[in-house]
Amino acid sequence: MPGQRAFSQGTVRPKLPLLKILQAAGAQGETFTLKEVMHHLGQYIMVKQLYDKRQQHMVYCGGDQLGELLGLESFSVKDPSPVYEMLKRNLTSAAMTGRFVTVWTAIFNIVLM
């Protein structure tokens, strides 16, 4: 079954609005690992300078495609639940469990340094 194969390999397929965000950050293709999705989201936030320069854990995404997907004006990377919920709605064939938090922390520890 194709969906099971993608699931077992840990690949996900973003829906079009999320795919456009990932591509704006340099992603190529239409399927990614969860780690790649998180990397490109982090890159998108940095390139678009959506983070607060003094409080870098704060992301201000109102008026941006990311904010539209999240349904938020801002969020803190210290609380990844809004991003987790958005990814559950916008990724298919994803294993969205503890791996999400591990990858999220790894990506944003780099961003916050």
| DSSP state string for the chain | -HHHHHHHHTEEEE-HHHHHHHHHTT--SS-EEHHHHHHHHHHHHHHTT-B-SSSTTEEE-TTSHHHHHHT-SEEETT--HHHHHHHHHHEES---SHHHHHHHHHHHHHHH-
pTM score above 0.85 = no
pLDDT at residue 93, as a whole number = 75
Which pLDDT score, from 0 to 100, does residue 60 have? Answer: 97
Report the chain's mean pLDDT, rounded to a whole number: 83
Residue-range domains of the chain with CATH: 2-112 (1.10.245.10)
Q: What are phi and psi of 47, to 5 degrees?
A: -65, -40
Query: What are the pLDDT digits (tens) for 28-41?
Result: 999 999 899 999 99
| Separation of alpha carbons 52 and 113, rounded Å | 13
Token code pair at residue 14: 């973003």
